[in-house]
Amino acid sequence: MSEKLQKVLARAGVGSRREMERVIAEGRVSVNGEVAQLGARVGEGDVLRVDGNQIKFSTAESIPCRVLIYNKPEGEICSRSDPDHDKTVFDRLPRLNGGRWIAVGRLDINTSGLLLFTTDGELANRLMHPSHEVEREYAARVFGEVTDGIVQKLRMGVQLEDGPAKFTKVSRQGGEGLNRWYHVTLSEGRNREVRRMWEAVDCTVSRLTRIRYGQLRLPRNLPLGGWAELETKEINYLRQMVKMRPIEMRKEVARNNKVERIKANRIRKAVRKAEIRRSKKP
């Protein structure tokens, strides 16, 4: 069995399929030591390199599409490694025998909450593409005087250094004095966008948690640092949203812990193991 080269690279998490087509056209991809051409097909046993770096890949049949929902704590970065930080979101995830976990977007180091991971690079790239406008909801504790006029301004749009931005919804959630909670919704994923929008109206976000991605909500019984695997119907909801074909139930997915039946003890044990691994890092 063989597949188109750009599809294999996208699933491996190198970039979107369209980006891979451009990279191939620029002569930056090789297959078995030969510069690849658009339209090339590859299969198991072929050696792929992008800019001279070998890319590990697996066939579509060998890697089930899996998605994890993770409750990110503050203080973790969304990179696999960083010399300035020793805590990454990948430390606590279950180990894979083949493939790797790919983060769907990012949350900054001071933001907590819902973060998705998948084994399917193409799914991750499509979900992150701005054209799909996946709605995200955040709970923000805001310090400052927030009048009805400011709320209306945030809904109509404020000017940021990288262009205009607006919340599709803003709702008050309680609090006292100048520290109050708000739920805000937007369909973009620009760097620190929620914080920068509040700063544009002279307010400061002291706590920020993502609580919803599309129709997927952060489970209330999922502790900080805990993960759970999505059901097939939830995975297919994500795939349908970005115009990908649905998957069938697979045994590898069926055996894993699901959001509906989260076992808190198992999750806490995984969290403790991750902390032990971190403590042993040089």
The residues carrying an active-site annotation are 108
DSSP assigned state of 222: -
What does the block give as tokens for 53?
A: 């770096």
Residue type, 85: H
Parallel/antiparallel/unpaired status of strands 102-104 and 112-118: antiparallel
What does the block give as tokens for 282?
A: 């040089």
Owner of token pair 């890697």: 63
Query: Angle, nearest 10°, between helix axes 121-128 and 17-25?
Result: 100
Contacts of 248 (CB under 8 A, 6+ apart): 232
Instruction: Specify the length of the chain in residues.
Output: 282
Contacts of 52 (CB under 8 A, 6+ apart): none
Beta-ladder partners of 67: 118
Beta-ladder partners of 64: none
